[in-house]
Amino acid sequence: MGLEQIKTRIAAAEAASGRDPGSVRLIAVSKVQPPERVESVLQAGQRIFGENYVQEAQGKWPDWRERFEGVELHMIGPLQSNKARAAVGLFDAIHTLDRISLARKLAQQIAEQGRSPQLFIQVNTGDEPQKAGILADELPGFLASCRGLGLDPKGLMCIPPETGDPLPHFRLLRRLARENGLQNLSMGMSADFESAIAEGATHVRVGSAIFGARDYG
Ligand SMILES: *Cc1c(COP(=O)(O)O)cnc(C)c1O
């Protein structure tokens, strides 16, 4: 695989579903990848990256941001409340707003730091007990609570169950976004980003298909 092939496949998927060219944003998921792989993708012009761990991102990105103009960082992993300060300071978007206690912390940090990462609400579309995210039924109430805190989430994010067809999950997320007046849909990973694009994804999160397999060693 690699960056160029993925960009070509995204463009083809946009065209196939009548989407405007460039309407899908590619988030290159660089968690635990060796620095030289990330650096070569930066050299190739990619600027939007996703990370799962605040501490890892804090260690890697300040340097790259100095060397490469226009880097945009997206937090796509579960966010602990005690990392809210660091996350608001570092990230341009947070895809994993999944509970009211975190919403409170983020609102507080956004006010304090005068920095406003774009927010996505994570939805547990598969109703999986072990997975983070708001249940579909709870979304309207949660959104209202977020707005009450002064937050203005602009989109939804999901991670479909590991097995089975992701399509119904993409469809559910799209319907929820439409019903709740939200523009952005963060869905689709290496294995399924094309079907996510067909269902309206605005942000796809692709890691291993760009960088190669992750080695958690
Ligand atoms: C790691 C991760 C990805 C990237 O997964 P790949 O299968 O390597 O593309 C996407 N989204 C989330 C939330 C992740 O944690």
Whether the Cβ atoms of residue 203 and residue 173 lie closer than 8 Å to each other: no
Q: Residue 29 region, left (φ>0) first, then alpha (ψ -120 to 50), else beta?
A: beta
Q: For residue 216, is it within any domain?
A: no
Distance 25 CA to ligand 1 centre (A): 15
- Strand positions, DSSP E, 17-117: 25-29, 48-51, 72-75, 93-97
CA 120 to CA 16: how far, in whole Å? Answer: 26
pLDDT value at position 217? 65
pLDDT value at position 215? 82
Count the domains in the chain: 1
How much is the pTM?
0.97
Distance 208 CA to ligand 1 centre (A): 8
β pairing state of 72-75 and 48-51: parallel
Residue type, 43: Q
The CATH number of the domain holding residue 105 is: 3.20.20.10
CA 180 to CA 24: how far, in whole Å? Answer: 20
Q: For residue 217, is it within any domain?
A: no
**pLDDT tens per residue across all 217 residues of the chain:** 699 999 999 999 999 999 999 999 999 999 999 999 999 999 999 999 999 999 999 999 999 999 999 999 999 999 999 999 999 999 999 999 999 999 999 999 999 999 999 999 999 999 999 999 999 999 999 999 999 999 999 999 999 999 999 999 999 999 999 999 999 999 999 999 999 999 999 999 999 999 999 887 6
Residues with Cβ < 8 Å from 94, sequence gap 6 or more?
74, 75, 79, 87, 106, 117, 118, 119, 120
**Helix (H) or strand (E) run with residue 44 in it:** none
pLDDT value at position 47? 98
Q: For residue 187, is it within any domain?
A: yes
Determine the structural domain holding residue 61 and report its residue range: 3-211
To test ligand 1's pocket by mutation, which of 56, 186, 189 has the most ligand atoms within 8 angstroms of CB? 189
pLDDT value at position 1? 65
Residues with Cβ < 8 Å from 49, sequence gap 6 or more?
27, 28, 29, 30, 38, 61, 71, 72, 73, 74
Q: Whose CA is nearest to atom 15 of ligand 1?
A: 77
Ligand 1, CB within 6 Å, residue ranges: 29, 31, 52, 76-77, 159, 189-190, 205-209
pLDDT value at position 216? 76
Of 139, 81, 89, nearest to 110 by C-alpha is 89
